[in-house]
């Protein structure tokens, strides 16, 4: 295993800055890549569950409704006192 790492070190010395940056980005991606959990593998074959093939679209931003009067949380606190 040491010879493979030695070969990598030697090869990296010969790379340009741009190529080295690309290799570094690739190795980081490899480290971040997670294995699919056994639970998801079990659910994937179950017809009850449908796994999305792509990311869901972002939700649109909704402004909260401004109610009139005293907020219910404040009424509850006052009621408990």
Q: Is the pLDDT of residue 1 over 60?
A: no
Handedness of CA 1, 8, 32, 37 (dihedral sign): negative
> C-alpha dihedral over 55, 58, 59, 61, to 10 degrees?
170
Q: Output the six-digit token pair for 22.
A: 């690309």
Note the pLDDT of residue 64.
84
Report the Cα 52 to chain-centroid distance in Å: 15
Per-residue pLDDT, averaged over 35-47, amounts to: 76
Query: SS3 for 31?
Result: helix
Tokens 């790379």, residue located: 15
Q: Taking 80 as the threshold, does the pLDDT of residue 23 lie above it?
A: yes
Scanning the structure block, which residue is given the tokens 């080295």?
Answer: 20
């Amino acid at each position: 295993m040491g010879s493979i790492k030695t070969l990598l070190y030697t090869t990296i010395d010969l790379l340009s800055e741009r190529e080295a940056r690309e290799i570094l980005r690739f190795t980081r991606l490899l480290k971040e890549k997670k294995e699919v959990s056994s639970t998801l593998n079990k659910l994937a074959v179950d017809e009850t569950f449908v796994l999305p093939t792509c990311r869901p679209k972002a939700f649109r931003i909704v402004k909260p409704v401004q109610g009139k009067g005293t907020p219910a949380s404040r009424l509850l606190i006052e009621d408990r006192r």
